[in-house]
A and B are shown apart, each in its own frame.
Chain A
Amino acid sequence: MARLVACALLLCFAVAAGQARAEGLEVIVVDPYLEMRTGPGRGFPIVHVVERGERVRVLKRRTDWFQVQDADGREGWVHRSQMLETLVPAGTRMEIDDPAREDFTAHRREVGLLIGDFGGANVITAYGAYAFNAHLSGELAVSQILGNFSDGEAAALGVTHVPVPEWRIQPFLSMGTGMIRIRPKGTLVQTPARTDQFAYVGGGLRAYLARRFIIRAEYKEYVVFTDRDENEEANEWKIGFAFFF
Protein backbone atom coordinates (compact mmCIF):
# COMPACT_ATOMS: atom_id res chain seq x y z
CA MET A 1 0.00 0.00 0.00
CA ALA A 2 2.68 2.47 1.09
CA ARG A 3 4.79 1.51 -1.92
CA LEU A 4 1.85 2.05 -4.23
CA VAL A 5 1.21 5.52 -2.80
CA ALA A 6 4.91 6.33 -3.13
CA CYS A 7 4.94 5.24 -6.78
CA ALA A 8 1.80 7.23 -7.55
CA LEU A 9 3.31 10.24 -5.91
CA LEU A 10 6.58 9.97 -7.76
CA LEU A 11 4.57 9.87 -10.96
CA CYS A 12 2.72 13.02 -9.88
CA PHE A 13 6.01 14.76 -9.22
CA ALA A 14 7.35 13.72 -12.60
CA VAL A 15 4.20 14.89 -14.39
CA ALA A 16 4.16 18.15 -12.51
CA ALA A 17 7.82 18.77 -13.22
CA GLY A 18 7.29 18.01 -16.87
CA GLN A 19 4.34 20.34 -17.09
CA ALA A 20 6.09 23.17 -15.33
CA ARG A 21 7.78 24.45 -18.47
CA ALA A 22 5.27 23.37 -21.10
CA GLU A 23 4.70 25.54 -24.16
CA GLY A 24 2.09 28.11 -23.26
CA LEU A 25 -0.53 30.01 -25.18
CA GLU A 26 0.43 33.47 -26.40
CA VAL A 27 -2.07 36.27 -25.86
CA ILE A 28 -2.20 40.00 -26.60
CA VAL A 29 -3.07 42.43 -23.82
CA VAL A 30 -6.22 44.53 -24.40
CA ASP A 31 -6.69 46.13 -20.98
CA PRO A 32 -4.56 49.28 -20.46
CA TYR A 33 -2.39 47.21 -18.11
CA LEU A 34 -1.96 43.57 -17.25
CA GLU A 35 -0.94 43.35 -13.63
CA MET A 36 1.54 40.62 -12.76
CA ARG A 37 1.64 39.58 -9.13
CA THR A 38 4.23 37.52 -7.30
CA GLY A 39 1.69 34.84 -6.34
CA PRO A 40 -1.73 33.46 -7.18
CA GLY A 41 -3.73 35.61 -4.77
CA ARG A 42 -5.15 39.11 -4.36
CA GLY A 43 -2.79 39.89 -1.49
CA PHE A 44 0.43 39.39 -3.42
CA PRO A 45 2.15 42.56 -4.66
CA ILE A 46 2.09 43.67 -8.28
CA VAL A 47 5.69 43.60 -9.47
CA HIS A 48 5.33 44.15 -13.23
CA VAL A 49 2.78 45.58 -15.61
CA VAL A 50 2.47 44.68 -19.26
CA GLU A 51 1.04 47.38 -21.51
CA ARG A 52 -1.79 47.16 -24.01
CA GLY A 53 -0.77 45.53 -27.29
CA GLU A 54 2.11 43.56 -25.84
CA ARG A 55 2.20 39.80 -25.82
CA VAL A 56 2.48 37.43 -22.89
CA ARG A 57 2.74 33.68 -22.73
CA VAL A 58 0.33 31.84 -20.45
CA LEU A 59 2.23 29.11 -18.60
CA LYS A 60 -0.34 27.61 -16.25
CA ARG A 61 -3.39 28.20 -14.18
CA ARG A 62 -4.12 27.73 -10.48
CA THR A 63 -7.71 28.41 -9.32
CA ASP A 64 -8.56 31.85 -10.79
CA TRP A 65 -4.96 32.89 -11.41
CA PHE A 66 -2.82 32.47 -14.52
CA GLN A 67 0.95 32.41 -14.51
CA VAL A 68 2.24 34.40 -17.47
CA GLN A 69 5.63 35.28 -18.88
CA ASP A 70 6.25 38.57 -20.68
CA ALA A 71 8.58 39.20 -23.63
CA ASP A 72 11.50 39.85 -21.26
CA GLY A 73 11.02 36.49 -19.54
CA ARG A 74 9.55 37.92 -16.33
CA GLU A 75 6.92 35.73 -14.73
CA GLY A 76 3.91 36.69 -12.66
CA TRP A 77 0.36 35.78 -11.78
CA VAL A 78 -2.62 37.50 -13.43
CA HIS A 79 -6.27 37.26 -12.37
CA ARG A 80 -8.88 35.58 -14.56
CA SER A 81 -10.83 38.84 -14.99
CA GLN A 82 -7.81 40.42 -16.73
CA MET A 83 -7.07 37.32 -18.79
CA LEU A 84 -10.59 37.50 -20.21
CA GLU A 85 -9.57 40.91 -21.63
CA THR A 86 -6.83 39.47 -23.81
CA LEU A 87 -6.81 38.34 -27.43
CA VAL A 88 -5.48 35.10 -28.82
CA PRO A 89 -3.44 35.38 -32.07
CA ALA A 90 -6.57 34.60 -34.13
CA GLY A 91 -7.93 37.94 -32.94
CA THR A 92 -10.68 36.60 -30.74
CA ARG A 93 -10.99 37.02 -27.00
CA MET A 94 -9.34 34.39 -24.89
CA GLU A 95 -11.94 31.83 -24.01
CA ILE A 96 -11.74 30.35 -20.57
CA ASP A 97 -13.76 27.22 -20.29
CA ASP A 98 -15.03 27.44 -16.73
CA PRO A 99 -17.88 25.48 -15.22
CA ALA A 100 -20.77 27.70 -14.32
CA ARG A 101 -24.31 27.48 -13.02
CA GLU A 102 -25.64 26.38 -16.41
CA ASP A 103 -23.36 23.36 -16.19
CA PHE A 104 -24.80 22.61 -12.76
CA THR A 105 -28.27 22.38 -14.32
CA ALA A 106 -27.10 20.06 -17.06
CA HIS A 107 -24.39 18.05 -15.31
CA ARG A 108 -24.14 14.30 -15.82
CA ARG A 109 -21.87 12.98 -13.10
CA GLU A 110 -21.52 13.88 -9.47
CA VAL A 111 -19.31 12.52 -6.68
CA GLY A 112 -19.51 13.63 -3.11
CA LEU A 113 -18.93 13.08 0.58
CA LEU A 114 -21.48 13.47 3.33
CA ILE A 115 -21.31 13.17 7.09
CA GLY A 116 -24.14 12.99 9.57
CA ASP A 117 -26.17 10.84 11.89
CA PHE A 118 -27.67 7.42 11.22
CA GLY A 119 -30.01 6.26 13.99
CA GLY A 120 -27.83 7.81 16.68
CA ALA A 121 -24.50 6.74 15.19
CA ASN A 122 -22.13 8.85 13.12
CA VAL A 123 -22.10 8.12 9.43
CA ILE A 124 -19.68 8.99 6.62
CA THR A 125 -20.92 8.44 3.06
CA ALA A 126 -19.22 8.59 -0.32
CA TYR A 127 -21.52 8.60 -3.32
CA GLY A 128 -21.48 8.78 -7.08
CA ALA A 129 -24.43 9.75 -9.25
CA TYR A 130 -25.15 9.58 -12.95
CA ALA A 131 -27.95 11.69 -14.42
CA PHE A 132 -30.15 10.00 -17.02
CA ASN A 133 -31.74 13.39 -17.73
CA ALA A 134 -32.00 16.76 -15.98
CA HIS A 135 -34.53 15.38 -13.49
CA LEU A 136 -33.64 11.78 -12.80
CA SER A 137 -30.35 10.27 -11.72
CA GLY A 138 -29.10 6.97 -10.38
CA GLU A 139 -26.93 6.90 -7.28
CA LEU A 140 -24.53 4.47 -5.69
CA ALA A 141 -23.50 5.20 -2.11
CA VAL A 142 -21.24 3.48 0.41
CA SER A 143 -21.34 4.42 4.08
CA GLN A 144 -19.31 3.77 7.16
CA ILE A 145 -21.37 3.82 10.34
CA LEU A 146 -19.54 4.56 13.59
CA GLY A 147 -21.58 4.33 16.77
CA ASN A 148 -20.96 3.89 20.46
CA PHE A 149 -22.68 0.50 20.50
CA SER A 150 -22.10 -0.75 16.98
CA ASP A 151 -20.10 -0.21 13.80
CA GLY A 152 -21.06 -1.08 10.31
CA GLU A 153 -21.06 -0.50 6.60
CA ALA A 154 -23.85 0.05 4.12
CA ALA A 155 -24.07 0.13 0.35
CA ALA A 156 -27.12 1.56 -1.42
CA LEU A 157 -28.42 1.91 -4.93
CA GLY A 158 -31.15 4.44 -5.56
CA VAL A 159 -32.77 7.03 -7.76
CA THR A 160 -33.00 10.76 -7.17
CA HIS A 161 -35.57 13.06 -8.69
CA VAL A 162 -34.97 16.81 -9.02
CA PRO A 163 -38.27 18.56 -9.88
CA VAL A 164 -36.73 21.94 -10.86
CA PRO A 165 -33.16 21.56 -12.16
CA GLU A 166 -32.99 25.26 -13.16
CA TRP A 167 -32.86 26.52 -9.58
CA ARG A 168 -29.64 27.29 -7.78
CA ILE A 169 -30.97 25.50 -4.70
CA GLN A 170 -32.63 22.31 -5.83
CA PRO A 171 -34.91 20.20 -3.67
CA PHE A 172 -34.80 16.51 -4.50
CA LEU A 173 -36.52 13.26 -3.59
CA SER A 174 -34.80 9.92 -3.37
CA MET A 175 -35.57 6.26 -2.85
CA GLY A 176 -33.57 3.09 -3.07
CA THR A 177 -32.40 -0.12 -1.54
CA GLY A 178 -29.21 -1.74 -0.33
CA MET A 179 -27.44 -3.90 2.20
CA ILE A 180 -26.29 -2.99 5.67
CA ARG A 181 -23.87 -4.81 7.95
CA ILE A 182 -23.92 -4.03 11.65
CA ARG A 183 -21.29 -5.23 14.11
CA PRO A 184 -22.39 -4.67 17.70
CA LYS A 185 -19.56 -3.54 19.95
CA GLY A 186 -19.59 -5.86 22.91
CA THR A 187 -16.82 -5.85 25.47
CA LEU A 188 -18.46 -8.59 27.58
CA VAL A 189 -20.69 -10.50 25.18
CA GLN A 190 -19.56 -11.02 21.59
CA THR A 191 -22.61 -10.59 19.34
CA PRO A 192 -22.21 -11.73 15.75
CA ALA A 193 -22.43 -9.23 12.90
CA ARG A 194 -25.71 -9.10 10.96
CA THR A 195 -26.21 -8.34 7.29
CA ASP A 196 -29.67 -7.20 6.23
CA GLN A 197 -31.37 -5.61 3.27
CA PHE A 198 -32.92 -2.17 3.63
CA ALA A 199 -35.02 0.29 1.68
CA TYR A 200 -35.17 4.05 2.06
CA VAL A 201 -37.12 7.10 1.02
CA GLY A 202 -35.85 10.59 1.55
CA GLY A 203 -35.39 14.09 0.35
CA GLY A 204 -32.98 16.93 0.53
CA LEU A 205 -31.47 20.02 -0.96
CA ARG A 206 -28.46 20.57 -3.11
CA ALA A 207 -27.10 24.00 -3.91
CA TYR A 208 -24.54 25.30 -6.36
CA LEU A 209 -21.57 26.83 -4.53
CA ALA A 210 -18.92 27.78 -7.09
CA ARG A 211 -16.91 26.22 -9.90
CA ARG A 212 -17.73 22.49 -9.78
CA PHE A 213 -18.84 22.44 -6.17
CA ILE A 214 -22.21 21.59 -4.69
CA ILE A 215 -23.31 21.59 -1.06
CA ARG A 216 -25.82 18.88 -0.30
CA ALA A 217 -28.02 18.07 2.71
CA GLU A 218 -30.43 15.17 2.93
CA TYR A 219 -32.76 13.22 5.19
CA LYS A 220 -33.69 9.55 4.75
CA GLU A 221 -36.07 7.12 6.41
CA TYR A 222 -34.82 3.53 6.46
CA VAL A 223 -36.60 0.23 6.92
CA VAL A 224 -34.18 -2.63 7.62
CA PHE A 225 -35.67 -6.02 6.78
CA THR A 226 -34.38 -8.20 9.59
CA ASP A 227 -34.91 -11.95 9.92
CA ARG A 228 -36.44 -11.39 13.35
CA ASP A 229 -40.14 -10.74 14.04
CA GLU A 230 -39.98 -7.01 13.55
CA ASN A 231 -38.31 -4.82 10.97
CA GLU A 232 -36.10 -2.05 12.22
CA GLU A 233 -36.58 1.58 11.35
CA ALA A 234 -33.95 4.28 11.38
CA ASN A 235 -33.63 7.82 10.16
CA GLU A 236 -30.58 9.54 8.85
CA TRP A 237 -29.54 13.11 8.11
CA LYS A 238 -26.37 14.10 6.38
CA ILE A 239 -24.61 17.15 5.01
CA GLY A 240 -21.61 17.40 2.75
CA PHE A 241 -20.15 18.56 -0.50
CA ALA A 242 -19.89 17.18 -4.01
CA PHE A 243 -18.20 17.81 -7.34
CA PHE A 244 -20.02 17.64 -10.62
CA PHE A 245 -18.40 17.02 -13.98
Chain B
Amino acid sequence: MENRIRVLLLSAALVMAGCSSLPWRDEDPEAAPEPASPENGEAPVVIEPQVERREVKPAKIDTENWEAGLTAGSLSVEDFEVNIVYGARLAYHINEDFFAEGIIGQSDAGLSSFERLSGGAPLLTDSERRFTYYSLGFGWNALPGEIFLGGRRALNSTVYLTLGAGSTRFAGGDRFTLTAGAGLRVLVKDWLGVHLDMRDHVHEIDVLGSNKTSHNYEATLSLTAFF
Protein backbone atom coordinates (compact mmCIF):
# COMPACT_ATOMS: atom_id res chain seq x y z
CA MET B 1 0.00 0.00 0.00
CA GLU B 2 2.71 2.35 1.06
CA ASN B 3 4.70 1.44 -2.03
CA ARG B 4 1.76 2.12 -4.29
CA ILE B 5 1.24 5.55 -2.78
CA ARG B 6 4.93 6.27 -3.12
CA VAL B 7 4.88 5.24 -6.80
CA LEU B 8 1.79 7.38 -7.40
CA LEU B 9 3.34 10.43 -5.74
CA LEU B 10 6.63 9.93 -7.52
CA SER B 11 4.97 9.59 -10.92
CA ALA B 12 2.85 12.66 -10.22
CA ALA B 13 5.98 14.55 -9.27
CA LEU B 14 7.70 13.37 -12.45
CA VAL B 15 4.79 14.52 -14.62
CA MET B 16 4.80 17.90 -12.87
CA ALA B 17 8.54 18.25 -13.29
CA GLY B 18 8.30 17.19 -16.91
CA CYS B 19 5.56 19.69 -17.63
CA SER B 20 7.27 22.55 -15.95
CA SER B 21 10.52 21.91 -17.77
CA LEU B 22 8.73 21.80 -21.14
CA PRO B 23 9.26 24.93 -23.18
CA TRP B 24 6.18 27.15 -23.54
CA ARG B 25 6.60 27.22 -27.29
CA ASP B 26 9.40 25.61 -29.13
CA GLU B 27 11.17 28.87 -30.09
CA ASP B 28 13.35 29.67 -27.16
CA PRO B 29 13.28 27.46 -24.10
CA GLU B 30 14.93 30.09 -21.95
CA ALA B 31 12.39 32.76 -22.71
CA ALA B 32 9.50 30.47 -21.64
CA PRO B 33 7.62 32.14 -18.81
CA GLU B 34 7.36 29.47 -16.12
CA PRO B 35 4.24 30.45 -14.22
CA ALA B 36 2.26 30.58 -17.46
CA SER B 37 2.85 26.91 -18.27
CA PRO B 38 -0.27 24.73 -17.95
CA GLU B 39 -0.59 22.59 -14.82
CA ASN B 40 -0.77 19.44 -16.91
CA GLY B 41 -0.28 18.99 -20.62
CA GLU B 42 -4.06 18.76 -21.30
CA ALA B 43 -5.06 22.44 -21.09
CA PRO B 44 -5.06 23.86 -24.66
CA VAL B 45 -3.52 27.24 -25.24
CA VAL B 46 -6.54 29.51 -25.61
CA ILE B 47 -4.93 32.89 -26.11
CA GLU B 48 -1.61 33.39 -27.70
CA PRO B 49 -0.60 36.99 -27.00
CA GLN B 50 0.49 38.60 -30.25
CA VAL B 51 1.05 42.04 -28.78
CA GLU B 52 4.61 43.21 -28.92
CA ARG B 53 5.73 44.56 -25.61
CA ARG B 54 7.01 48.08 -25.80
CA GLU B 55 9.15 49.80 -23.27
CA VAL B 56 7.43 52.90 -21.99
CA LYS B 57 9.86 55.77 -21.62
CA PRO B 58 9.12 59.37 -20.77
CA ALA B 59 8.82 61.29 -24.02
CA LYS B 60 12.09 62.70 -25.26
CA ILE B 61 11.20 66.06 -26.64
CA ASP B 62 13.61 68.77 -27.61
CA THR B 63 13.08 71.56 -25.09
CA GLU B 64 14.13 75.06 -25.99
CA ASN B 65 14.00 77.17 -22.87
CA TRP B 66 17.43 78.75 -23.11
CA GLU B 67 18.24 81.71 -25.30
CA ALA B 68 21.74 83.03 -25.96
CA GLY B 69 22.96 85.75 -28.22
CA LEU B 70 25.26 88.62 -29.07
CA THR B 71 24.50 92.29 -28.67
CA ALA B 72 25.76 95.52 -30.24
CA GLY B 73 24.57 99.05 -29.93
CA SER B 74 25.29 102.40 -28.41
CA LEU B 75 25.82 103.33 -24.78
CA SER B 76 25.62 106.83 -23.42
CA VAL B 77 28.04 106.97 -20.49
CA GLU B 78 26.93 110.00 -18.48
CA ASP B 79 29.41 112.88 -19.00
CA PHE B 80 31.56 110.68 -21.26
CA GLU B 81 29.86 110.71 -24.68
CA VAL B 82 27.92 108.05 -26.54
CA ASN B 83 29.95 105.05 -27.64
CA ILE B 84 29.63 101.66 -29.27
CA VAL B 85 28.87 98.80 -26.86
CA TYR B 86 29.26 95.06 -27.46
CA GLY B 87 27.88 92.34 -25.28
CA ALA B 88 26.23 89.00 -24.83
CA ARG B 89 23.03 87.78 -23.23
CA LEU B 90 21.72 84.54 -21.82
CA ALA B 91 18.13 83.98 -20.81
CA TYR B 92 16.13 81.11 -19.37
CA HIS B 93 12.41 81.14 -20.10
CA ILE B 94 10.60 80.06 -16.95
CA ASN B 95 7.15 80.20 -18.48
CA GLU B 96 5.44 82.14 -21.24
CA ASP B 97 5.36 85.26 -19.06
CA PHE B 98 8.70 85.41 -17.23
CA PHE B 99 12.34 84.83 -17.98
CA ALA B 100 15.58 85.11 -16.04
CA GLU B 101 18.31 86.99 -17.85
CA GLY B 102 22.00 87.74 -17.58
CA ILE B 103 23.76 90.36 -19.72
CA ILE B 104 27.38 91.47 -20.07
CA GLY B 105 28.73 94.34 -22.08
CA GLN B 106 31.75 96.46 -22.77
CA SER B 107 32.31 99.92 -24.16
CA ASP B 108 35.09 102.53 -24.26
CA ALA B 109 33.93 105.86 -22.91
CA GLY B 110 34.94 109.08 -24.64
CA LEU B 111 36.04 112.44 -23.26
CA SER B 112 33.94 114.49 -20.87
CA SER B 113 33.14 118.02 -21.98
CA PHE B 114 35.30 119.30 -19.11
CA GLU B 115 38.31 117.45 -20.53
CA ARG B 116 37.50 118.64 -24.03
CA LEU B 117 37.06 122.31 -23.11
CA SER B 118 39.83 122.70 -20.54
CA GLY B 119 42.35 120.93 -22.74
CA GLY B 120 44.18 119.86 -19.59
CA ALA B 121 45.23 116.46 -18.38
CA PRO B 122 42.63 113.73 -18.90
CA LEU B 123 40.58 112.68 -15.89
CA LEU B 124 40.90 108.99 -16.60
CA THR B 125 43.50 106.68 -18.08
CA ASP B 126 42.56 104.55 -21.09
CA SER B 127 42.01 101.45 -18.97
CA GLU B 128 39.81 103.43 -16.53
CA ARG B 129 37.78 104.66 -19.49
CA ARG B 130 36.72 101.12 -20.35
CA PHE B 131 33.14 100.59 -19.22
CA THR B 132 32.22 96.94 -18.51
CA TYR B 133 29.08 95.72 -16.84
CA TYR B 134 27.13 92.63 -15.94
CA SER B 135 23.55 92.44 -14.82
CA LEU B 136 21.31 89.60 -13.68
CA GLY B 137 17.59 89.84 -13.41
CA PHE B 138 14.12 89.05 -14.59
CA GLY B 139 12.03 89.94 -17.56
CA TRP B 140 8.29 90.02 -18.07
CA ASN B 141 6.73 89.47 -21.49
CA ALA B 142 4.18 92.22 -21.13
CA LEU B 143 2.85 92.37 -24.68
CA PRO B 144 3.14 89.09 -26.57
CA GLY B 145 1.83 89.28 -30.09
CA GLU B 146 2.59 89.18 -33.76
CA ILE B 147 4.17 91.52 -36.28
CA PHE B 148 2.57 91.41 -39.71
CA LEU B 149 4.79 91.80 -42.72
CA GLY B 150 2.60 92.37 -45.75
CA GLY B 151 -0.45 90.20 -46.12
CA ARG B 152 1.11 86.76 -45.87
CA ARG B 153 3.76 86.79 -43.17
CA ALA B 154 3.38 87.09 -39.42
CA LEU B 155 6.29 86.94 -36.99
CA ASN B 156 5.82 86.19 -33.30
CA SER B 157 6.98 89.00 -31.09
CA THR B 158 6.82 90.31 -27.56
CA VAL B 159 7.48 93.57 -25.80
CA TYR B 160 9.09 92.91 -22.44
CA LEU B 161 10.22 94.80 -19.37
CA THR B 162 13.41 93.88 -17.52
CA LEU B 163 14.83 94.63 -14.10
CA GLY B 164 18.24 93.53 -12.93
CA ALA B 165 21.17 94.19 -10.66
CA GLY B 166 24.87 93.82 -11.20
CA SER B 167 28.14 95.64 -11.26
CA THR B 168 29.80 98.20 -13.50
CA ARG B 169 33.54 98.70 -13.74
CA PHE B 170 34.34 102.24 -14.81
CA ALA B 171 36.73 105.00 -13.74
CA GLY B 172 38.85 102.68 -11.64
CA GLY B 173 36.18 101.07 -9.52
CA ASP B 174 33.36 98.55 -9.39
CA ARG B 175 29.94 100.01 -8.76
CA PHE B 176 26.70 98.35 -7.80
CA THR B 177 24.34 98.94 -10.68
CA LEU B 178 20.59 98.62 -11.13
CA THR B 179 19.38 98.02 -14.65
CA ALA B 180 15.89 98.68 -15.94
CA GLY B 181 14.76 98.41 -19.50
CA ALA B 182 12.25 97.51 -22.14
CA GLY B 183 12.71 95.55 -25.30
CA LEU B 184 11.09 94.08 -28.35
CA ARG B 185 11.80 90.52 -29.41
CA VAL B 186 10.87 89.32 -32.88
CA LEU B 187 11.23 85.65 -33.80
CA VAL B 188 12.50 85.48 -37.36
CA LYS B 189 12.50 81.69 -37.09
CA ASP B 190 11.15 79.56 -34.24
CA TRP B 191 14.68 79.36 -32.89
CA LEU B 192 16.12 82.70 -34.01
CA GLY B 193 15.27 85.96 -32.32
CA VAL B 194 16.10 89.61 -32.95
CA HIS B 195 15.93 91.96 -29.96
CA LEU B 196 15.77 95.72 -29.81
CA ASP B 197 16.54 96.82 -26.24
CA MET B 198 16.58 100.08 -24.34
CA ARG B 199 18.15 99.93 -20.90
CA ASP B 200 19.21 102.31 -18.18
CA HIS B 201 22.20 101.37 -16.02
CA VAL B 202 22.03 103.38 -12.80
CA HIS B 203 24.93 103.67 -10.38
CA GLU B 204 26.60 106.11 -8.03
CA ILE B 205 29.80 107.77 -9.23
CA ASP B 206 32.17 110.43 -7.87
CA VAL B 207 34.55 111.00 -10.77
CA LEU B 208 33.66 114.66 -11.21
CA GLY B 209 34.14 115.71 -7.60
CA SER B 210 30.92 114.98 -5.74
CA ASN B 211 28.97 111.74 -5.53
CA LYS B 212 26.05 111.57 -7.92
CA THR B 213 23.66 109.09 -9.50
CA SER B 214 24.70 108.34 -13.04
CA HIS B 215 22.21 107.18 -15.68
CA ASN B 216 23.76 105.36 -18.60
CA TYR B 217 21.30 104.71 -21.39
CA GLU B 218 21.92 101.91 -23.80
CA ALA B 219 20.19 101.01 -27.06
CA THR B 220 21.14 97.65 -28.51
CA LEU B 221 20.25 95.18 -31.18
CA SER B 222 20.79 91.46 -30.44
CA LEU B 223 20.64 88.23 -32.35
CA THR B 224 19.74 85.24 -30.19
CA ALA B 225 19.20 81.54 -30.62
CA PHE B 226 16.93 79.26 -28.61
CA PHE B 227 18.37 75.95 -27.54
User: CB within 8 Å of B: which residues of A?
Assistant: 2, 5-6, 8-9, 12-13, 15-17, 19-20, 22, 24-25, 38-44, 58-67, 88-90, 92, 94-97, 113, 115, 121-122, 124, 144, 146, 148, 151, 185, 187, 210-211, 213, 241, 243
Contact B94 A44 (CB under 8 A): no
A-B contact count (CB 8 A): 124
Inter-subunit contact A211/B95 (CB<8 Å):
yes
Q: Are B59 and A58 in contact (CB under 8 A)?
A: yes
Q: Tell me if B225 and A16 are in contact (CB < 8 A).
A: yes
- A33 CB → nearest B CB, Å: 21
Is there an interface contact between B64 and A62, defined as CB atoms closer than 8 Å?
yes
Chain A neighbourhood of B136, CB < 8 A: 113, 124
Cβ B95 vs Cβ A63 within 8 A = yes
- Are A44 and B88 closer than 8 Å at their CB atoms? no
Cα distance, A95 to B60, chains bound together (Å): 10
- Which bucket holds chain B's interface residue count? 35 or more
Cβ contact within 8 Å between A19 and B62: yes
Partner of A94, one of B59, B96, B144: B59
Contact code string B74-94 (vs A, CB < 8 Å = 1, else 0): 000000000000101000111
B window 119-163: CB within 8 A of A: 136, 138, 141, 144-146, 154, 156
List the A side residues contacting B191 at CB < 8 Å. 16-17, 19-20
Asked whether B167 lies within 8 Å of A144 as measured between CB atoms, the reply is yes
Evaluate whether A39 and B144 lie within 8 angstroms (CB atoms) in the complex, with A9-B69, A95-B58 already known: yes
If A9-B70, A211-B94 touch, does A20 touch B144 (CB 8 Å cutoff)? Answer: no
Contact B63 A62 (CB under 8 A): yes
B93 to chain A minimum Cβ distance, whole angstroms, is 5
**3 closest Cβ contacts across the A-B interface?**
A122-B176, A146-B176, A39-B156
Chain B residues lying within 8 Å of A92, measured Cβ to Cβ, are 56
Query: Looking across the interface, which residue of chain A has its beta carbon closest to that of B175?
Result: A146
**A9–B69 Cα gap in the complex (Å)?**
7
A62-B70 Cα distance, complex, nearest whole Å: 21
How far does the alpha carbon of A15 sit from the alpha carbon of B92 in the complex, in Å? 17
The residue on B at minimum CB distance from A94 is B59
B54 interfacial by beta-carbon distance below 8 Å: yes
- Residue in A22, A25, A65 whose beta carbon sits within 8 Å of that of B96 in the complex: A65
A28 to chain B, nearest CB (A): 13
A95 to B55, alpha carbons, bound, how many Å?
A: 13
Decide if B204 touches A25 in the complex (CB within 8 Å): no
Within 8 Å CB of B204, what residues of A? Answer: 148
Given contacts A41-B141, A95-B59, A243-B92, 12 further A-B contacts (CB under 8 A): A5-B70, A16-B192, A16-B226, A24-B61, A43-B144, A61-B62, A63-B65, A63-B96, A122-B176, A210-B94, A213-B94, A241-B138
Q: How far is the CB of B222 from chain A (nearest CB, A)?
A: 11
A61 contacts B64, C-beta separation under 8 Å: yes
In the complex, B100 has a CB within 8 A of chain A: yes
A and B contact pairs by CB, cutoff 8 A, 19 listed: A5-B88, A8-B68, A9-B70, A9-B88, A16-B225, A17-B191, A19-B62, A22-B62, A38-B146, A39-B187, A42-B96, A43-B145, A61-B63, A62-B64, A94-B59, A144-B167, A146-B174, A211-B94, A213-B94
User: Is B183 part of the contact surface with A, judged by Cβ < 8 Å?
Assistant: no
Q: Are A38 and B156 in contact (CB under 8 A)?
A: yes
Q: Which residues of chain A have C-beta atoms less than 8 A from B92's C-beta?
A: 243
In the complex, whether B116 has a CB less than 8 A from a CB of chain A is no
Return the contact of B225 from the options A13, A97, A113 (Cβ within 8 A). Answer: A13
The listed residue (B56, B60, B86, B226) touching A25 by CB distance below 8 A is B60
> B115: CB under 8 A from chain A?
no
Please, how many angstroms separate the alpha-carbon atoms of A44 and B96 in the complex? Answer: 11
CB pair B95–A210 under 8 Å, yes or no, is yes
Contacts of B39 in A (CB 8 A): none
B227 at the A interface (CB under 8 A): yes
A63 surroundings in chain B (CB, below 8 A): 65, 93-96
Q: Does A12 lie within 8 Å of B68, measured CB to CB?
A: yes
Q: Closest CB-CB distance, A191 to chain B, in whole Å?
A: 14
A88 touching B59, Cβ below 8 Å: yes
Residue B221, interface by CB 8 Å: no
What separation, in Å, do the CA atoms of A122 and B227 have in the docked complex?
34
If A38-B154, A63-B96, A241-B100 touch, does A12 touch B227 (CB 8 Å cutoff)?
yes
A106 CB to nearest chain B CB (Å): 17
B179 to chain A, nearest CB (A): 12
CB nearest neighbor in B for A89: B54
